[in-house]
């Protein structure tokens, strides 16, 4: 999920903790360290949870999936996600609204 990211583009970072195999895709809570706990129906097999996370965040943030990039944590529950096209304040507001 590489790609060039230009600093001049609006964008921000979301730190998430993914909980796969949940009953529904949802933002569960904001943890004390600022990470957003997201529950996903998809299992953590063959990248399904990562794909599901990108689709879910795309819908919550109202941006194309191509603007969602998992920059670290591809194989773990804790991930850092870069969102292109939105500034950090807009990301935070949309996450609160979606949660």
Residues 4-21, mean pLDDT to the nearest whole number: 80
The whole-angstrom separation of Cα 3 and Cα 85 is 14
Give the model's confidence band at 97: pLDDT under 50 very low, under 70 low, under 90 confident, else very high: confident
Helix axes 48-61, 88-98, angle to 10 degrees: 100
Mean pLDDT of the chain: 90
Q: CA 28, CA 31: separation in Å to the nearest integer? A: 9
What the chain holds in terms of domains, given with CATH numbers, is: 11-98 (3.30.1200.10)
Q: Do 4 and 31 contact (CB within 8 A), yes or no?
A: no
- Residue 45 is predicted with a pLDDT of 94
User: What are the C-alpha distances in Å from 72 to residues 3, 14, 99?
Assistant: 14, 11, 23
pLDDT digits (tens, 9 = 90+) for 41-81: 999 999 999 999 999 999 999 999 999 999 999 999 999 99
């Amino acid at each position: 999920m590489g790609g060039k990211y230009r600093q001049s583009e609006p964008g921000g970072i979301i730190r998430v903790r993914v909980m796969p195999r949940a009953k529904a895709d949802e933002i569960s809570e904001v943890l004390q360290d600022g990470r957003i706990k997201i529950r996903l129906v998809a299992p953590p097999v063959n990248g399904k949870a990562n794909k599901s996370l990108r689709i879910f965040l795309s819908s919550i943030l109202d941006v194309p999936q191509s603007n969602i990039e998992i920059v670290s944590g591809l194989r773990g529950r804790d991930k850092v996600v870069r969102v292109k096209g939105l500034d950090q304040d807009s990301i935070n507001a949309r996450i609160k609204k979606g949660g």
